[in-house]
Amino acid sequence: MRLLLLAPPGAGKGTQGQRLAATYRVRHIAAGDLLRAQAQAGGALGDEIAAHQARGDLVPDQVVLDVLTPVVVEAAAQGGYILDGFPRNLPQATAAAELAVRLGVTLNAAVYLHAPEEVLTRRLLDRASQDGRADDKADVIRHRLEVFAETTGPLVPYYTQRGILITVDADQPPEAVTADIQAGLSRLSLAG
Ligand code: ADP
């Protein structure tokens, strides 16, 4: 199984990524987590990543590709992956498609999780009180939602055109969201 999760902050990419990875026994590749780990490791690259993340801006594409490509290559060889938070703009989507061609694999589906902005903001502010992520502050949350709308949103028509988009209402309990994703996957495989 090879899936990607396309979702604004707070929609539950991480939760669904973990659940789907366990169900399909493939690796959950969370771009934000891998970049945060690299940021924690420090050095010039780590500091650059940390600065972008703290502002809620996207980390530069080449940095993202350098961090993620080896992980995707390894997971592809081991049966698949759930990509959570990558790709996040059109150049990254093109790079991901080129990598898939090079690896001789295709994506089963791109899952778009959507929820009203006030639901997303409330979830992120709740999370902020628990895990204190540097980017879970009201002004940075607002900026991350804008970045999603402007930069990541265009991937919705991109994957629709490729015939592999599944749109799911993320304003439901996690189990219901997973069930809707699975229903979408069976509809796609029936259609395909
Ligand atoms: P969320 O979607 O809730 O903001 P993530 O952990 O997915 O959380 O992402 C956090 C931050 O990590 C983003 O705001 C961005 O700075 C960086 N990031 C994650 N994935 C990417 C990506 N594919 N390209 C560029 N930056 C990324």
Q: What is the pLDDT of residues 19-34, one digit of tens each?
A: 999 999 999 999 999 9
Which of 59, 122, 145 is the pocket-test mutation for ligand 1 (most atoms within 8 Å of CB)?
59
**Alpha-carbon gap, residue 87 to 6, rounded angstroms:** 8
Nearest CA to 4 out of 156, 154, 107 is that of: 107
Mutate to test the pocket of ligand 1, among 58, 66, 72, 136 (most ligand atoms within 8 A of CB): 58
Q: Residues with Cβ < 8 Å from 14, sequence gap 6 or more?
A: 30, 33, 84
Mean pLDDT of the chain: 96
The answer to whether residue 180 scores a pLDDT higher than 90 is: yes
Rounded average pLDDT over 149-176: 98
pLDDT digits (tens, 9 = 90+) for 123-152: 999 988 887 788 988 999 999 999 999 999
Residue bearing tokens 């639901």? 119
* 56 in contact with ligand 1, CB cutoff 6 A: yes
* Cβ-based neighbours of 174, under 8 Å, separated by 6 or more: 12, 15, 16, 19
Contact assessment for residue 122 and residue 20, using Cβ atoms and an 8 Å cutoff:
no
**Statement: residue 192 has pLDDT above 70:** no
Ligand 1 centre distance from Cα of residue 79 (Å): 25
* 45-61 pLDDT, tens digit each: 999 999 999 999 999 99
Q: How far apart are CA 150 and CA 90, in angstroms?
A: 11
In whole angstroms, give the CA distance from residue 108 to residue 33. 23
